[in-house]
Amino acid sequence: MRFGYGTNGFANHRLGDALRVLADLGYDGVALTLDHQHLDPFGPDLARRVSGVAADLDRLGLAVVIETGARFLLDPWRKHSPTFLDPGRARRVEFLTRAVEIAADLDAEAVSFWSGNKPAELSTEDAWTYLVDGCADVLKAAEEHDVRLGFEPEPGMLVEDLDGYFELARRLGDPERFGLTLDIGHCRCNESASVPDCVRRALPRLVNVQIDDMRRGTHEHLEFGRGEIEFPPVLAALAPYGGLVAVELPRDSHAAPRIARESLDFLRQAVAA
């Protein structure tokens, strides 16, 4: 099993330093959140900076997936805005298109993204129309650049569970390139089935996995052993999946090297259990 770590858990590190720490700890890859401090897709000299990151990844032997959950990259006032469902949604599509282009240059395994929350004034029918149209635009870019997409169901958003993901894929025509990002904690938080059964249901479309601990009914990312998930059967269910399983602890940058080390130790022990 190949383990990675999310750069959103290294927010206080320079990207190059974070990559070196993770490689030294023994991680196989990195889930790279494009953000103002980590490969800003709207910053100057993007091609040069992408080339430098590609060289770092190659030298360190790290695989990469691209994450697009930066909180205030597109709007300094509103977290995660605009989404596919907001006025100004073209800005989200532009961002994701740039993410696809960066992913191609980094030979990334997937680009991960989500739907966004439905504004109260927007009808459900219109929300789905905006989401399908926006995803179709991103899919077009992915086809042009030979990049896989990993759509993430996110609790509380328009598409919040696996049923929602499969409905979205159906509305898009079930394109092969439209894969699934699965957050293991969300299985505990938002799915009726057991976590291993949730994993097994997701496997046919799985291209990206985020892993953390969580309690049922919450959406708080917890360090391993602090929630309710039994990880040995979860990791056993993930055995047929060949992509990165990346730790996602975005609120723990204050102790990133220690928590990254402890997370990898925990996961390796869980695999061996």
**CA distance linking residue 63 with residue 79, whole number of Å:** 28
The pLDDT, as a whole number, for residue 235 is 98
Q: How far apart are CA 155 and CA 115, in angstroms?
A: 11
The yes-or-no verdict on residue 191 having pLDDT over 90 is no
Quote the CA–CA distance of 139 and 135 in Å, as a whole number.
Answer: 6
pLDDT surpassing 80 at residue 128: yes
**Interatomic CA distance for residues 103 and 55, integer angstroms:** 14
Supply the pLDDT for residue 216: 85
How does the average pLDDT of the chain come out, rounded?
A: 97
C-alpha to C-alpha distances, 270 to 14, 114, 154, 267, nearest whole angstrom: 30, 29, 25, 5
Cis status, amide bond into 82, omega within 30 of 0: yes
Q: Which of 109, 85, 88 is nearest to 2 (CA)?
A: 109
Half-sphere exposure of 73 (CA within 13 A, CB side): 24
What's the pLDDT at 16? 98
pLDDT of amino acid 238? 98
The per-residue pLDDT for range 98-119, each reduced to its tens digit, is: 999 999 999 999 999 999 999 9
pLDDT in tens, 219-236: 889 999 999 999 999 999
Model confidence at 89: pLDDT above 90? yes
**Which pLDDT score is estimated for 189?**
81
Domains by residue range for the chain, with CATH:
2-272 (3.20.20.150)
